[in-house]
A and B are shown apart, each in its own frame.
Chain A
């Protein structure tokens, strides 16, 4: 069964750092682009970041560029999101999502259950 399980969310103060993880199983992890999408409480979906299957190419929303870093460890089938200089507006459920193929121009066909990040003083 194809599965994505996020972890690492929590409550922290503005300016803090956090690393999210997404453990993948049931598919050849290195063959697929992977993504992070977030959803603020009561709001819609916002794309955050994408990484190619090899990890060589990364892409970010302007709202997180320079503060967040996406990475992957294909030997561990795990996707990461390092989040620095966190702001209140980063408060959201963060979903890990598998690309439907190697290209970044693809649907997100499998989603994890999400992990909540709350930034508040």
Chain B
């Protein structure tokens, strides 16, 4: 199985400040077809997860441009340029290159 490791486990951020979450996979997520199957989700308190970023760096419809994804191979990063109160929750990375589909353990983001 591909293991997804997220750091840090939690993050406390002052509104307006940047935040960064790392996700490392145990194998490269680059497909032979050229796409990299790495996604980012946010689960706000009491809600289902919502897709933020697909294929490393593509923002899903309606996702604010303060969210950005980057990385390649096995190392990936989600950045929030200026954290807002509505960004609190748990962030998960996920891979779909190989079955079983696997998620990172999550990073909890709180506001100071």
Q: Which residues of A contact B (CB under 8 A)?
A: 37, 44-47, 50, 59, 61-62, 95, 100, 104-114
Contact = CB atoms under 8 A, between A and B. Distances in A.
Name the interface size band of chain B: 20 to 34
B39 A44 contact: no
B54 to A, nearest CB: 4
Given A44-B105, A113-B48, A59 B99 contact: yes
Contacts of B105: 44
Contacts of B101: 47, 50
B96 interface: yes
A96 to B, nearest CB: 9
Given A105-B31, A107-B54, A109-B60, A45 B49 contact: yes
Contacts of A107: 39, 51, 54-55, 60, 94, 96
Interface of B: 31, 35, 37, 39, 41, 43, 48-51, 54-55, 60, 90, 92, 94, 96-97, 99-106
Contacts of B92: 44-45
Given A95-B48, A111-B49, A47 B100 contact: yes
